[in-house]
Amino acid sequence: MDAKVDKTLKITTPSDLEIAMTREFDAPRHLVFDAMTKPEYVRRWFGCEAFTLPVCEIDLRVGGAYRFTMRTPDGVDSTLAGTYREVVRPERIVFTERFSMPGFTSDEYQVTSTFMEAGGKTTLTTTILHATKANRDGHLNSGIEKGVEPAYDRLAEVVATMD
């Protein structure tokens, strides 16, 4: 009965204002929840390969703030920061967030994560709700200038994800 964990990241746009991500983890939800909400754990996975994480602060309670700052090798900081709206360990967490980097600060958006456990595995569903469609599109487009150089042979794959 040990169902295999499907570690594919599924990204959908349930409405014009939302982005939804679903991912399964081979661990009970209290561990997934802690890994995502305790700084000593977050430091070990969040960010980008080449970036450092000089700021990783979490005040996990309703009204509490958090701040993650990523730094590129040439010293450019980008920050994700916000306030917790709901904290129900290990089921659900809701927070507001803004992304900022030199010359750009996003509007605020709301992030809702739910942790569903079955047979020792956890399904994480994260829904990001923006105030406008333009903001939502911009969010998905983030990082484009950093450039993953697309190749023609990836076309079929890209088109397949549009379903």
Partner 1 sequence: MPLDPLSTTFAALADPTRRAILSRLALGQTSVLELAEPFEMSLPAISKHLKVLERAGLIARGREAQWRPCRIAPVSLRQVDGWLANFRKFWDENFNRLDGLLEEMKAEEAVKAAARTKPKVRVRKEKPRGRKSR
Q: Using CB under 8 A as the criterion, which residues of the chain lie in contact with partner 1 when the complex forms?
A: 7, 9, 11, 19, 21, 23, 25-27, 31-32, 34-36, 41, 44-49, 134, 137, 139-144, 146-148, 150, 152-156, 158-159, 161-162
3-state SS, residue 145: helix
Cβ partners under 8 Å of residue 120, min gap 6? 26, 27, 28
Cβ proximity to partner 1: between 102 and 152 the closer is 152
Cβ proximity to partner 1: between 1 and 160 the closer is 160
What phi, psi does 101 have (nearest 5°)? -150, 165
| Shortest spacing between CB 31 and partner 1, in angstroms | 5
In the block, residue with structure tokens 């079929």: 156
| Shortest spacing between CB 18 and partner 1, in angstroms | 13
- For the chain, how big is the Rg over CA atoms in Å? 17
| Shortest spacing between CB 83 and partner 1, in angstroms | 22
